[in-house]
Amino acid sequence: EAQVTQNPRYLITVTGKKLTVTCSQNMNHEYMSWYRQDPGLGLRQIYYSMNVEVTDKGDVPEGYKVSRKEKRNFPLILESPSPNQTSLYFCASRGPDRRNYGYTFGSGTRLTIV
Amino acid sequence: LAKTTQPISMDSYEGQEVNITCSHNNIATNDYITWYQQFPSQGPRFIIQGYKTKVTNEVASLFIPADRKSSTLSLPRVSLSDTAVYYCLVGAILISSGSARQLTFGSGTQLTVLP
């Protein structure tokens, strides 16, 4: 089944403790992206990657890092998490031509920083 | 990036047809219109996409007038399971066009289907 898989689904952690949220897709998609969703603010793009070793900032990149060493994986790294990064995070991917299927999103990661 | 405007919420009853309109006055020539559906705590799911006139698939229809400054998502005979947030997005079609960072979600329209 074609899908985007995120892990973990839920995480509660403490301020300052480095964490990584993994994202993997099995559709051989070039483009991957991370979003965070907060009440009243909709989905906001954090980082995106157009292909292996090509990443760029989205609208809210502060406090996050990403890497794209392999086509299928696009982990989101929080080096020193803070409570304002408590949010619902989504990873998404798509192929080079968005004409037919749009973006495929993962099931989400609910992150709580205390 | 073309800004979109949608109603914040809509209510409907089971079996009715629902039309959600999105305004995008500054849509560009290369922009397509895409609609997504999102259930609570789930990722958005692609519904339909179009450039002009009418597009229909197994779940919805998309109507786009000639000036393309708005679009209407039509859901036939909704059921309780169609209760969700619906997002209208406008952006260039190809990543190679340089607009890879687009796909900006607005607040969407909360559709509530009542029994």
Alpha carbon distance A43, B105 (integer Å): 6
For chain B, the helix, strand and coil percentages under 3-state DSSP, each to the nearest 5? 5, 50, 45
**A104 versus A66: which is more confidently predicted?**
A66
User: Which residue on chain B is closest to A10 by alpha carbon?
Assistant: B41
Alpha carbon distance A46, A75 (integer Å): 12
Q: What percent of chain B has pLDDT over 90?
A: 65
Q: Does position A39 have pLDDT exceeding 50, yes or no?
A: yes
Mean pLDDT of A36-53: 88
Closest CA to A31 of A74, A80, A86: A74
Chain A contact set for B94 (CB, 8 A):
96-98
The string of pLDDT tens digits covering residues B36-84 is 999 988 899 989 999 999 999 999 999 999 999 999 999 999 999 999 9
Chain B contact set for A43 (CB, 8 A):
44, 87, 105
Query: What pairing do the DSSP bridges indicate for beta strands A109-113 and A10-13?
Result: parallel
Alpha carbon distance B18, B3 (integer Å): 23
Q: What percent of chain A has pLDDT over 70?
A: 95
User: How many Cα atoms within 13 Å fall on the side-chain side of residue A28?
Assistant: 0
User: Which residue on chain B is closest to A56 by alpha carbon?
Assistant: B101
Chain A contact set for B98 (CB, 8 A):
none
Alpha carbon distance B36, B90 (integer Å): 11
pLDDT at B107: 77
Is A106 within 8 Å of B43 when comparing Cβ atoms?
Answer: yes
User: Which residue on chain A is closest to B107 by alpha carbon?
Assistant: A42
Is B100 within 8 Å of A35 when comparing Cβ atoms?
Answer: no
